[in-house]
Each structure stands twice: as C-alpha cells, then as structure tokens.
Chain A
Amino acid sequence: MQFKATIISNQEVSPGYFRMRITAHPELTGAQPGQFVMVRVRDAIDPLLRRPFGIFDVGTVPSEYPGCSSATYLEMLYKVVGKGTETLSTYHHGDHVDIIAPLGTGFDLGDPEEEKILVGGGVGIAPLYYLAKTLVGRSRVRFFLGGRTRDDILCVTEFERLGVETYVSTDDGTLGDRGLVTDVMERHVREDGRKKTIYACGPMPMLKAVAGIARQTGTSCQVSLEAYMACGMGACLGCVVKGRDHGDETPDYRCVCKDGPVFAFDQLMWV
C-alpha cells in the first residue's frame, strides 16, 4: 500500500546511523518480519528512485490525543551512505515521506521447538529486531551481532530488553569479542548439537560465510539480501540474483524485491 507518512522521530543512534519512526497505516501491523518499505525521499527528481529499507519495527501506541484510538508506527534503522539517506537524516518530527509497504516476502518463522539463531552485521540487524520481537515467546532466540568497530554495533539493549541472549563481536575488539561474528556463531552451532534455524542479514561476505556454515552443519538457514532496486514490485527486473539452478541455458534469476528479500540459503547460487 502507498501512503504519506509523518515523521514522529529521527534520531542518530550511533555515528552515521539513524532510527526513524513514522506514522503508518493500521494494516501495517500485519507486516511480516523481513518485509521492507520503499521510501520516496523527496517529492522531486533528485534523488529519483525510491530507496528500500527493512522494517525495523512496527507497533501501536496510544494516541497523543485523549479519546482517539491508538496509532500505528513503523520504524527504520538506516546508515547514511549517499544522497537519499543523507537527505533522510535531515528530517525532523512533522516532516513527510511517501511510503510503499509492506513489500517482499519475509522470514518463515519455522518450528517453534527449534532454537533460532539471528546473525546480523552492521545495519543488517535492521530486519532482525522485528523478527526477534515476533519470535520471542514462541522460540528460544540467540542473537549474534557483528560490526567493524563499536560504532557499528546498534541497538543491543533493545534486543536484550526482548529477552534475547545477545553476543557481540567487532573486527577491532572495541566491543565484545574480537573477530568475526560468524566464528562465534559457528562455535555455538557446532557445540550445541540441537536442531536450529539461522536467520542472517548483513554484508555479502558475511552471508556467504553463514551459508557455508549452514551447509556444513546441515542447519536450515534464511538470508535477507540487498540489491539495487528501482520498482520494488517485480516489474523492472533490476534487482535479480542467481537462483540455485542458474546456468546460461537455464536462467534462474530471482527478484530480491518480490521473491525475497528473504531466501532459504539453498535456493541461491553462492559463487
């Protein structure tokens, strides 16, 4: 659905990372974790295309006005990397953006009996918060969070407040363990032999490592991908990735915007 949203708040949570809360249509409370939104940053031709962002959180709060029904909000967690996110970061309470949401196919919540392992790198934790919120109370959830340095580690307290066991690692050791988050996660998966499902979102090298661990350990695993998008609805075919059976003679391209952004790792070609 397409709607004009009002910005409720837009805070810098760590250098270069912002958390934006906007008003949303009540139907958005039905969004699946892993789905995303397309944001028209300005009503102008620069930046031209919409920008995709994962759904960090959706919820309802009592209205500011007594007697009025509750209000639905949607949150995004974003990193400033270029024109669009730069512009977004200048917005304040009361400003507007145009939103299309919810888009894409989200995470499969899987068997409640199995432990859920969430792995996020940098701003890749964005869709994992709403996932964690949906999973806790249903399954046991552990969250492995990695970044280059302490500034890339976001929202740890939010996850802990959900009651999720959280493990942090940074490449330079400025927060949590020193090293790769995937190494810490792999140790846990191998030591604790029970059946699990892994959910991962972050940079491609991290996702490749996670997919490798899932394959070796026979663990089921879903990854959330990023791709450059123009339409967000399966029409332009700009966002495709290679599916498992892709070959020159047997094209198997999957749309990240429509078939994903969440894929079972064994549905994709990783080379």
Chain B
Amino acid sequence: MKRPDLSVEIAGIKLRNPVMTASGTFGYGEEFAAYVNLEKIGAIITKGLSLKPKAGNPTPRIQETTGGMLNAIGLQNVGIDAFIEKKVPFLRTVNTPAIVNFFGNTVEEYAELAERLDKIPEVAGMEINISCPNVKHGGIVFGTEPKAAYSVVKAVREATIKPVIVKLSPNVTDIVEMAWACADAEADALSLINTLTGMAIDLKSRRPILANVTGGLSGPAVKPVALRMVWQVAKAVKIPVIGIGGIMSGTDALEFMLAGATAVQVGTANFLDPAASERIAAEMEQYLVNNGITDVKELIGALQV
C-alpha cells in the first residue's frame, strides 16, 4: 500500500504532518535537536516572545499534579532582538516551518511585534498568545473579552501578510464567542487550548506551592476539556482549528482531529519524552496504515455525534 498522506495546510503553511510543538514546551527548537528529528514533525512553535526581554515570575514556577503539571513561568523570554540574532539562525537550518508565538501588553505592542516578525523570512507564521494566565498586565484581558480580542487580532492582521493564528484561553465562560471575535478580525486559524488556571497547596506549610500562587494546568489532565472546546469551536467557525491539550500519543492526536482539528500541538509530553512529537506523528501514520485510510484529512471533523 502507498504511504498515507499526512500533510495538512494551515492558512497557507504546508505541514508534512499535523504535529507541531506547543509554545513554551520546546524552547526555540534547538534545545531538542539532539533528541528529535525536527524534520519529521509538522512545525515548530517557539517560546512566547515579547518586544523586550522578560524576566518571568519568581520560583518555584512548576509543580507536578495528578496527570498534569502547573506552571507559572511568567513568559520569561529573550525578547525579539535576541531572538532575531541568536535563535533565528538555527531555525534557518531546519527544513520545517517555524511559527513564532508572541504577546504584548498593549494592542500597539502586538502590532509592532507582528510588523517586525513579518520581515523575517524564517518565520512561516505567527501565533498570537492572548491567553497567558501568568502575567498580571495585559494578556488575559485580550483573551477573555471578545472586543479586546477583536482589536488585537485586527491590529496584528493589518501589520502582517503572514498567516496569523490566535491562541485561545480556556479560562472563559464562552469559548465560541471568543473564537467568533477572532475570526471576525480575520485570523487565519485558531489554536486551543492554552493552560487552565489552577493551584497547588502544601498542607504542611499551609501555603501555595507556586510563588505566583496560581499557575497554568497542562498535560493529560486537561485533555477532555480541550477536546470539548475544540469540538465546540470547530463547529462554529470556518477557519482551521489547531487542537492542544494533553496530547501524549497518536491516538490522542487523532481524537482531536475527529473533534474538528486540522492539526495539533504537543506540549507537556515533550518533557517526559523529548521525541514525543516525532513519535506521535509516526503513531498517527501507523493508525492510518492499519485502518486503510489514505489521507489524514478524511478524519478532520469526522466525529459522529
């Protein structure tokens, strides 16, 4: 039998398979190069970037929880100048699309970042993070108020001709309303979910474990919530949806595609298995072979309810 076709397309970015690495869990790609063949995955999404370098939150910043982990990194990153100087040269050497995740404190900052990233040939697309729960200023209002989301996406849209993906927060009452606002502002695709706000407590000291008190929950524990949100959003919008949340195996990834995702992102799984993204793509292919499916696109939204 001919090898099945795993390729998908997100807003004009051609992916050899639907597996991307989730922002913040794969550094700038380079960190994992010794453990995973970067040319066997669909795309690399880099750590959330801001205009100025950002220090992030005090420690402790992470804590394992049942079936998941909490993080309150606080978007520590090198800033766009160092990104261009120190991280882009590596991305240039890899024959896999690089999508840059970024965030700002104001609409203007988002637009400025988009404008600067627009000029970098190595950047295949942008993923705007309007959903980080770990920064006090900005971020979260854009991710929880449809009007604010609309204005930020619109500003980015006007600043770049590159594909614009908007990453949504699950910490909202109505995820569909948020998705509509972004689609109206001409986002090319939506990715969801970012982490769910959670906390962990140390009974002995009677104090929160994370210095930031709360953190973002990720990992297998969040998968059912993510699947539900992807399903709701994929039904409601015409643009492609990227599924994220607790994906550990090819089976998990394919479930997201049935729920309506065109592609997926692998996050926390990279920590336990640095080759997770490559393995998940291989497991998806194996499933297609075993089931005589010639094209992975047949599965997108094929859920029978």
Tell me whether A and B are bound partners.
Answer: yes
Q: How far is the CA of A99 from the CA of B70 in the complex (A)?
A: 23
Known A-B contacts A2-B274, A45-B220, A48-B272; the reply to A240 vs B59 at CB < 8 A is yes
CB pair A237 B73 closer than 8 Å: yes
B32: CB under 8 A from chain A? yes
> Considering the complex, which residues of chain B in the window 26-61 have a beta carbon less than 8 Å from any beta carbon of chain A?
26-27, 31-32, 34-35, 47, 53-56, 59-61
Residue of B nearest to A49 (CB): B64
Q: Are A46 and B66 in contact (CB under 8 A)?
A: yes
A220 to B: closest C-beta gap in Å: 26
Write the nearest CB–CB distance from B101 to chain A, whole angstroms: 13
Among the listed A2, A47, A251, which residue makes an inter-chain contact with B64, where contact means beta carbons less than 8 Å apart?
A47
User: How many A-B contacts at CB < 8 Å in the complex?
Assistant: 91
Asked if B59 contacts A233 (CB within 8 A), the reply is: no
Chain B residues with CB under 8 A of A235: 25-27, 31-32, 47, 270
In the complex where A2-B275, A253-B55, A253-B76 touch, is A230 in contact with B32 (Cβ < 8 A)? no
Chain B interface residue count, CB cutoff 8 Å, equals 36
Is A227's beta carbon under 8 Å from chain B? yes
Give, as a whole number of angstroms, the nearest-CB distance from B272 to chain A: 6
Q: Which of the four size classes fits the interface of chain A?
A: 20 to 34
Chain A residues near B248: list those with CB within 8 A: 45
Tell me the B63-108 residues at the A interface (CB within 8 Å): 63-64, 66-69, 71, 73, 76
- Shortest CB-to-CB span from B188 to chain A, Å, is 27
Does A31 interact with chain B (Cβ within 8 Å)? no
Contact between A1 and B27 (Cβ–Cβ < 8 Å)?
Answer: no
Q: Does B170 contact A (CB under 8 A)?
A: no
A244-271 contacts to B, CB under 8 A, are 248, 251, 253
Find chain A residues with CB under 8 A from B69 CB: 48-49, 230
Residues A237 and B76 in contact in the complex (CB < 8 Å), given A48-B69, A251-B54 = yes
- Smallest distance from the beta carbon of A32 to chain B beta carbons, Å? 17
Q: With the chains together, A16 CA to B99 CA distance in Å?
A: 47
B89 CB, min distance to chain A CBs, angstroms: 17
B220 touching A237 by the CB < 8 A rule? no
Q: Would B31 and A238 count as touching, CB distance under 8 A? A: no
Chain B positions within 8 Å of A248 at CB level? 55
B58's nearest neighbour on chain A, judged by CB, is A242
In the complex, B13 has a CB within 8 A of chain A: no
Name the distance in Å between A38's Cβ and chain B's nearest Cβ: 9
Tell me, in angstroms, the Cα distance from A100 to B34 when the chains sit together.
11
Q: Is A236 an interface residue (CB 8 A)?
A: yes
- The residue that B272 contacts in the complex, of A1, A40, A240, with Cβ under 8 A, is A40
On whether the beta carbons of B56 and A251 are closer than 8 Å, the reply is yes
B contact residues around A236 at 8 Å (CB): 24-25, 27, 62, 71, 73, 271
> Is the pair A231, B270 in contact by a Cβ cutoff of 8 Å?
yes
In A74-126, the 8 Å CB interface with B consists of: 100
* C-alpha gap A45/B248 in the complex (Å): 9
| Nearest-neighbor residue (CB-CB) of A82 within chain B | B64
A241 contacts partner chain B, Cβ-Cβ < 8 Å: yes
- CB contacts (< 8 Å) of B24 on chain A: these are 236
Task: Determine whether B240 belongs to the interface, using a CB cutoff of 8 Å to chain A.
Answer: no
Residues B66 and A251 in contact, CB atoms below 8 Å apart: no
Does any Cβ of A come within 8 Å of B260's Cβ? no
Nearest opposing residue in chain B for A229, CB measure: B62
A233 vs B271: C-alpha distance when bound (angstroms): 9
Cα separation A108 to B81 with both chains bound (whole Å) = 32
Q: Does B219 contact A (CB under 8 A)?
A: yes
Identify which of residues 1-51 in chain A touch chain B, using a CB-to-CB cut-off of 8 Å: 1-2, 40, 45-50
Residues of A close to B61: CB separation below 8 A? 228, 237-238, 240
Q: Is A234 part of the binding interface, using a Cβ–Cβ cutoff of 8 Å?
A: yes
Q: Contact check, A251 vs B53: say whether CB atoms are below 8 A apart.
A: yes
B191-215 vs A: 1/0 string, CB under 8 Å? 0000000000000000000000000
Among B62, B219, B270, which residue has its beta carbon within 8 angstroms of that of A45? B219
Please report the C-alpha to C-alpha distance between residue A44 and residue B252 in the assembled complex, in whole angstroms: 15
- Cross-chain contact B270 with A228 (CB below 8 angstroms): no
Mark B residues whose CB is within 8 Å of A.
24-27, 31-32, 34-35, 47, 53-56, 59-64, 66-69, 71, 73, 76, 219-220, 248, 268, 270-275
Contacts A48-B69, A49-B272, A228-B59 supplied; 16 other A-B pairs, CB < 8 Å: A40-B272, A45-B219, A48-B67, A48-B272, A50-B271, A227-B59, A228-B63, A230-B69, A233-B31, A234-B27, A235-B32, A236-B71, A238-B61, A238-B62, A238-B73, A240-B76
Report, nearest first, the 10 A-B pairs whose CB atoms are least far apart.
A251-B55, A235-B27, A238-B62, A235-B31, A230-B271, A231-B271, A237-B76, A238-B61, A45-B220, A233-B31
In the complex, 22 of the A-B residue pairs with CB atoms within 8 angstroms, ordered by the A residue number, are A2-B35, A2-B275, A40-B272, A45-B219, A48-B67, A48-B68, A48-B219, A48-B220, A48-B268, A49-B69, A100-B35, A228-B63, A230-B271, A234-B31, A235-B25, A236-B27, A237-B61, A237-B76, A240-B59, A251-B76, A253-B55, A253-B56
